[in-house]
Amino acid sequence: MLAEAAVDTAPSAAERVQQRWDRYTKADHEVWQTLYARRMEQLATTASRIFLEGAELIGLAPHEIPNLKEVNKRLGPRTGWNAVPVGGFLPAREFFASLSNRRFPTTVTIRSREDIDYVPEPDIFHDVFGHVPLHSDPPFADFLQRFGQAATMARTPDEVEMMARLFWFTIEFGLIDENGTPKIYGSGLISSSCDAANALGSNCDRRPFSLDAVISQSFRIDRLQDILFVVDSFEQLYEAVDLVVERMSI
């Protein structure tokens, strides 16, 4: 998380890793196929239409792991975003600096079949399936870049915590109202059937999004979420980041 950030002065990890798509095995592609089929069956009725349209726009296929070069050919002309390969977690400041340049650090490994239900670290299913379809939507794309810019400005512990909570309750576990019905868009919900079911179930307190409410709400990463927030639009998120910047001691 942001609180564990360290400035990395070495060359960007995104510049040291390549996706060698031809090296994925049949077993690798079968893991993608299983995960894709499981999630899309449920997401057809529970996900934001923006995610569903985005998955089609960037060319996600049910039968094979995405080739980032092909994804970027579709994504770049729409919003200027690109998915760039990395080997795993980046230092927080480097991650957010990448976002500020419309470059999304994307893990290129995929989980094993033995760990198909859960892995603690990101993999290509979480990163591409969970995150990248939203990057094809201009309002969300603008918000995510603005978030990256703001996150690199965070200096004090309070500012770091404020950005961590905003990230958690939007980019990872966000909900959006579509015609009076909450739909999921956060990557943690998109890529996890258990978290998604909880988010839309009776045990989760879904509250209208407001910046003050979000940055006042603590969270735990090791349990299902008790409280989540529903935005009216992604433009609302962009406005929230501007308010965050106004509160920073820059």
Q: Is 126 a catalytic residue?
A: yes
Catalytic residue among 48, 98, 136, 191: 191
Q: What is the pLDDT of residue 250?
A: 58
Q: What is the pTM of this model?
A: 0.90
For 105, list phi and psi in degrees, rounded to 5: -65, 125
102-148 tens-digit pLDDT:
999 999 999 999 988 878 788 999 999 999 999 999 999 999 999 99
Q: Is 29 a catalytic residue?
A: no
Mean pLDDT, rounded, of the chain: 91
Q: At what angle do helices 157-167 and 234-247 cross, to 10 degrees?
A: 180
143-201 tens-digit pLDDT:
999 999 999 999 999 999 999 999 999 999 999 999 999 999 999 999 999 999 999 99
Percent of the chain with pLDDT over 70: 93
Q: What is the pLDDT of residue 11?
A: 40
Q: What is the pLDDT of residue 118?
A: 79
The C-alpha atoms of residue 119 and residue 110 are separated, in whole angstroms, by 10
Q: At what angle do helices 68-79 and 138-151 cross, to 10 degrees?
A: 100
Q: What is the pLDDT of residue 89?
A: 81
What is the average per-residue pLDDT within 201-205?
96
Catalytic residue among 48, 94, 98, 131: 131
Q: Is 63 a catalytic residue?
A: no
Catalytic residue among 135, 136, 159, 172: 172
In order of their start, the domains of the chain are 13-247 (1.10.800.10)
Catalytic residue among 126, 135, 159, 187: 126
47-77 tens-digit pLDDT:
999 999 999 999 999 999 999 999 999 999 9
87-106 tens-digit pLDDT:
888 888 899 999 999 999 99
Q: Is 98 a catalytic residue?
A: no
